[in-house]
A = this chain, B = another copy of it.
Amino acid sequence: MELQRTIMTIAGSDSSGGAGIQADLRTFAALGHYGTSVITALTAQNTTGVQGVHGVPPSFLEQQIHSVLDDLDVHAIKTGMLFDAENTRATVRALKKYYSGRAMPPLVCDPVCVSTSGHSLLAPEALENCSYLARFLQFKTCLMLPGDLLRCGPRGVLVKGGHMTATIADVDSLARAHPEICIMRDGLYGDDMEILSVNTPEPTSLVIDVLCEADGPTTLFVRPRIDSTSTHGTGCTLSAALACALADGASVSEAATAAAAFTHLGIRTATKLGAGHGPLNHLHSVTQRLVPPRTPTNPYPLTQLLIKGSAGIWREYVEHPFVQRLGEGTLPKDSFVRFITQDYHYLKYYARAYGQVPSFFSSTSTDVCCSLLAAKSDTFPAIASATQTILNVLREISMHRAFCAEFGVSAAELEQTREAAATSAYGGYLIDVGMQGDTTKLLVALLACLLGYGEVGLWLKRAFGSAAGPERSRRNVVLEGHPYRRWIEDYSGKEYQYAVRAGLETIEACAAADPPSAARLAEWRAVWERCTRLEKALWDMALEVQD
């Protein structure tokens, strides 16, 4: 996830992490934004209560605001607990100083007075300074109060309804009495979604947040009440999520809708923590990214994961005794012929499976790979590379025919050789994956063969060739007189290696454009491991002729 916008919170610190700047920063991160935090006061608190408060000197509070604003481009600001009248004034002073003569980004004020655990977090004189908040709001107050607040100048006032309870009947009668009020039923289905509501229990108790806009209607956000103790930092989370949506350019009403839904899910998905009112789960909106991003020095992160995940089998495959003996030139001719004839049959399946990659070159807009190919400016090289892979299979087949002729097996004999069980098992599996899954899954299945032969080619050339020429480097390795010289040179050669790169590029681009969930990655790993085993089994089979 790349961080989108910078947001500044001016609030208290909660040592237990559930509220204050800690809840704000977690909310910003969960919604993809970068958080900066100006601390007004420290609290020593936990889920059972507030054990101590340490105010920050007003001048240092101002200094923090200047440090942030002097360097970073802030797209939204939220204020939480301002602690006392002096710090409230210091905040106003610093913001006024910075924004005099320039546009201020959206500002969300959360007038934190009392913690969820009941602790007063605003000094009495500050409360007077704000002079408007009743400690326990009643339903009617919520509808009347915002009007008074709106006169202070904000674009909107959102009154959180967590401390009140209403029923669907209350909402329906309110809607009848006040047709001008807009009612948003989140998690309650509209009249074109009756089919979804049939099997969903109707909530008996509702929470209603009230939004009044200076230039808009009054909106009620109605949602099912959750019976939970994980409500520590609900207000902080709501106002932080509001700031995120406003930074994204949402309207006040859109922001309230998004923020209320985010907070609701935070309470709903929380697991109990601590002995009292525990924190929300802010991270319900993200999942782990399992394949790391591609970087210049690690351009093949998925392939690395796959290889490392089955390192033992991969090594048994690419450093198989068959390969070792082939390199040494001690592999019996019979084993090689058996391998080549079976590989010839295998390549039929392989080419057919490649043909199955269904809309790899088509213009179907819904195909991921294809969308990627079409959307990126460098798509033609990608298409060309993929084509090269298919052509490579045909080239391999002609090489196999030549080998067989060289070793006294005619084209007719080659065609008529009965398939070994190892060949049928592997070939059938490729076709099955092609029928069953999507493009990426099939590409993973095709990768073990493509990559493994590339690795084997490079290794054999380096290990069993001898450096020649004035430079005696890896590039000048020759295999003079080696009985399997052509086979090694083919798989270590330019054309095959180019096809490998094209295949790697395609699959890594797919994984980067469509990052897999844990379930999907597990599926790919299983496919990769199975194909690696099936590759090893092909060489076991070829050696068994002899051993």
Contact = CB atoms under 8 A, between A and B. Distances in A.
Interface of A: 1-3, 6, 13, 15-17, 22, 25-26, 29-30, 32, 34-39, 42, 44-48, 51-52, 54, 56-57, 60, 63-64, 66-68, 70-72, 187-189, 192-196, 198-201, 203, 223-224, 261, 265, 268-269, 271, 273-276, 279, 281-289, 292-293, 295-300, 303-304, 307, 311, 314-315, 318-319, 358-359, 364-368, 371-372, 435-438, 441, 451, 454-455, 458-459, 462, 497, 500-501, 504, 513-517, 519-520, 522-523, 526-527, 530
Contacts of A72: 16, 46-47, 273-274
Given A22-B37, A459-B194, A15 B45 contact: no
Contacts of A276: 71
A514 B517 contact: yes
* 10 closest cross-chain pairs (CB), A and B: A46-B71, A44-B63, A514-B519, A15-B64, A224-B297, A438-B438, A286-B286, A17-B36, A195-B455, A44-B67
Contact of A193 (B54, B304, B437, B438): B304
11 contacts: A17-B34, A25-B26, A45-B67, A52-B67, A193-B304, A193-B455, A195-B458, A284-B292, A286-B288, A287-B287, A368-B519
Nearest to A17: B36
A520 B288 contact: no
Nearest to A31: B288
A522 B486 CA distance: 47
Contacts of A16: 36, 67-68, 71-72
B60 A52 contact: yes
B319 A192 contact: yes
A22 B3 contact: no
Given A438-B441, A455-B195, A15 B39 contact: yes
Contacts of A198: 458, 497, 501
Number of copies: 2
Given A192-B318, A513-B517, 18 more contacts: A1-B283, A1-B288, A2-B271, A13-B37, A15-B36, A15-B39, A15-B64, A15-B67, A17-B35, A26-B35, A39-B39, A46-B72, A54-B57, A192-B455, A193-B307, A200-B299, A286-B289, A372-B519
A424 B244 CA distance: 47
Given A46-B71, A284-B1, A15 B38 contact: yes
Given A35-B22, A199-B501, A283 B359 contact: no
Nearest to A20: B37
Given A441-B438, A514-B519, A281 B29 contact: no
Nearest to A303: B196
Contacts of A196: 300, 303-304, 307, 504
A46 B56 CA distance: 19
A526 B44 contact: no
Contacts of A293: 265, 268-269, 284
Nearest to A224: B297
Given A67-B16, A195-B458, A283-B3, A371 B519 contact: yes
A275 to B, nearest CB: 6
Contacts of A38: 15
Centre residue among A17, A268, A459 by max chain B CB count within 10 A:
A17
A282 to B, nearest CB: 8
A368 B25 contact: no
A192 to B, nearest CB: 5
A232 to B, nearest CB: 11
Centre residue among A71, A189, A364, A436 by max chain B CB count within 10 A:
A71
A223 B30 CA distance: 29
Nearest to A526: B366
B292 A265 contact: yes
B47 A64 contact: no
A364 B271 CA distance: 34
A429 to B, nearest CB: 10
